[in-house]
Amino acid sequence: MNTTSIDFESFIEWDNNPFILFNNQGKILYLNNAAEILFGYVSKKELYDIALSYAPQNFGYKTTSLTLNYDAYIFHAIIVGYENEEQISLRLYNTPRIKTTRKIEKDKLITTDINILLEANIAIFKTINTNPLKLLTDHDLPAFKIDQNNFSKLLRKVLNTFRASDSIDVSLKLLFGQHVIIEGKKVSISQLSIR
């Protein structure tokens, strides 16, 4: 065994599995990049409570198989550990994504400025609905290929479900650090949120 000291922090920092180190008051002492993104979908308190609930009874580490869902994140196990009374760590393990066998029909996809398509569909919605609507978009999103017809149909159906709402908030943004793999290539994800 090699006794050379190795700094493993960079391995944890860039791991795809979220890692969080809390103090005994629930304050975050350290979190890696994956955990930073995860906090966009779940509260610090909820993850701290999970760490406390699944902690081993004595100093050490405990692995638990469970299913946790937070938006696009699905976890199949956690490890909770502590070596003193001052700190507790939580590591969540991503569920491997199932590779789809569905072939994307690229000839049906048209390179589209998603902002223009979104604004056109909202304009159609506003002709028959007077609900106050707030739109927040990232105008720097690049054009990409999309099935305009199916996207527009789905968007209009979703907007129609908000007909009775006092107001509608629509946001379109690029999700940094998240991607899907299509035909072996990493593709960025943009998120359309309607509330």
Determine the Cα–Cα distance for residues 187 and 181; give it in Å rounded to an integer: 6
Instruction: Give me the amino acid identity at 127.
Output: T
Residue 178: CB atoms within 10 A of its CB come to 14
pLDDT digits (tens, 9 = 90+) for 15-68: 899 999 999 999 999 999 999 999 989 999 999 999 999 999 999 999 999 999
Question: What totals of helices (H) and strands (E) does the chain contain, helices first?
Answer: 5, 10
Q: In what order do the strands lie in the sheet with 19-23?
A: 28-31, 19-23, 87-94, 73-82, 60-70
pLDDT band at 87 (very low <50, low <70, confident <90, very high): very high
DSSP assignment of 82-97 equals ESSSSEEEEEEEEPPP
Determine the Cα–Cα distance for residues 134 and 171; give it in Å rounded to an integer: 8
Which sequence spans correspond to the domains of the chain? 9-94, 106-194
Residue 124: the pLDDT is: 92
As its CATH architecture, domain 9-94 has 2-Layer Sandwich (3.30)
CATH of region 106-194, choose from 3.40.50.620, 3.40.50.1820, 3.30.565.10, 3.40.50.720: 3.30.565.10
pLDDT band at 81 (very low <50, low <70, confident <90, very high): very high
pLDDT digits (tens, 9 = 90+) for 95-133: 887 666 667 777 778 999 999 999 999 999 999 888 889
Both structure tokens of 155: 């968007």
Q: Percent of the chain at pLDDT above 90?
A: 53
Determine the Cα–Cα distance for residues 152 and 117; give it in Å rounded to an integer: 8
Residue 112: the pLDDT is: 93
The reported pTM is: 0.52
